[in-house]
Amino acid sequence: MMPRGPLFYSIRRLLSALMASLFLLLMPGLHPAHAAESRLPVAQEARLRELARDLRCLVCQNESLAESHAPLAGDLRDEIRDQIRAGQSDTEIIQYLVARYGDFVTYKPPFNTRTLLLWLGPFVVLLLLLSVLWSFHRRGRPARAAPPAEQELHETHEAFRRLERQYGSKDD
């Protein structure tokens, strides 16, 4: 093995820095010319941002495409940018994304048979909880006391039956 001195490590660092610089310059997404070419006019960029606010990031799920920093969100923004550049309307762009990624990509899914549970599920759960609470409420109430006259009449009949059993019936 050859001895490695400070000169070797200096050359190695220099070569690593040159390779990293070359790599960054040749990467298409990071090149300044590519960034300028991917931009849209101001009005169309505003339209892109508005669309991206209304669409959900498929990775983050609780962030819009405009807020997300996920690579897939960047790819989707680029896809929207390309479609805007191609002259597609907002509705056509959303329909394309829904066809490709499903209704989940929108924050306002349509009301259809596939999303029926999504729309009606919370109301069904709420009704079930209310019925359970109502049944517990009904069970927890004390039994309603009979009016005193009826209660006394009932007690008198019970006492009379006991006496009949004890001393026999009057028909004997």
- The predicted-structure confidence for 7-61, as pLDDT tens digits, reads as follows 777 787 877 877 777 677 676 555 444 444 467 788 888 898 999 998 988 888 7
Does residue 147 have a pLDDT over 80? no
Which of 11-20, 60-69, 76-85 is the most confident on average? 76-85
Q: Provide the terminal-to-terminal Cα distance of the chain, rounded to the nearest Å.
A: 129
CA distance linking residue 56 with residue 63, whole number of Å: 6
**Cβ–Cβ under 8 Å, residues 70 and 60:** yes
Residue 96 carries which side chain, given as an amino acid letter? Y
Q: Which amino acid is at 57?
A: C
CA angle 123, 60, 115 (to 5 degrees): 30
Helices (H), the chain: 6-26, 32-38, 42-54, 71-85, 90-101, 116-140, 148-167
What domains, with CATH codes, occur in the chain?
25-135 (1.10.8.640)
pLDDT tens digit sequence for 90-134: 999 999 998 998 888 888 878 888 788 888 899 999 999 999 999
pLDDT higher than threshold 50 for residue 81: yes
Give the position of tokens 């070569």.
15
Which amino acid would we find at residue 132? V
| Dihedral angle computed from the Cα positions of residues 61, 67, 73 and 75, in that order, rounded to the nearest 10 degrees | 170
Considering the entire predicted model, what is its pTM? 0.50
| pLDDT computed for residue 167 by the predictor | 85
| Better-predicted residue by pLDDT, 154 or 170 | 154
